[in-house]
Amino acid sequence: MVVITKVTSNGKRKIIALLSALVGLVVIDGVLTNILVGSGSASEANPILEPMVGRTGFMIIKIVGSLLCALILWDVWRRYPRVGTIAAWIAVIGYAAIVVWNAGLILLA
């Protein structure tokens, strides 16, 4: 069953802002991670990304990955606006918490 809902231009602007914030937070997380790991104050918890931290490939993966996630969330939002919006908010809140955590570690270092 497909549910068609009317999407307003205001709703479109909100999801674009939300997804832009998500991409921005992921990039900021990458920069802060590079700083923390480079200074020896922290280590990368993701075992797949850990050997890449400090290299150009790490930021490329963060940027491309965040854009891919934003596009997937955009596609979900187009079909199911409420689900897409909730999923985007969860991702933004999660990454905001990670960025605040990492920024706190930098301030304490």
Tens of pLDDT along 70-95? 999 999 999 999 999 999 999 999 99
Has residue 79 been placed in a domain?
yes
Has residue 4 been placed in a domain?
no
pLDDT band at 5 (very low <50, low <70, confident <90, very high): low
CA angle 93, 94, 97 (to 5 degrees): 85
Has residue 3 been placed in a domain?
no
Q: What is the pLDDT of residues 22-36, one digit of tens each?
A: 999 999 999 999 999
Domain that holds residue 86: 9-108
Has residue 65 been placed in a domain?
yes
Distance of CA 12 to the CA centre of its chain: 19
pLDDT averaged over the chain?
A: 91
Has residue 77 been placed in a domain?
yes
Has residue 20 been placed in a domain?
yes
Residue type at 43 in one-letter notation = S
What's the pTM? 0.87
- How many domains, in total, are found in the chain? 1
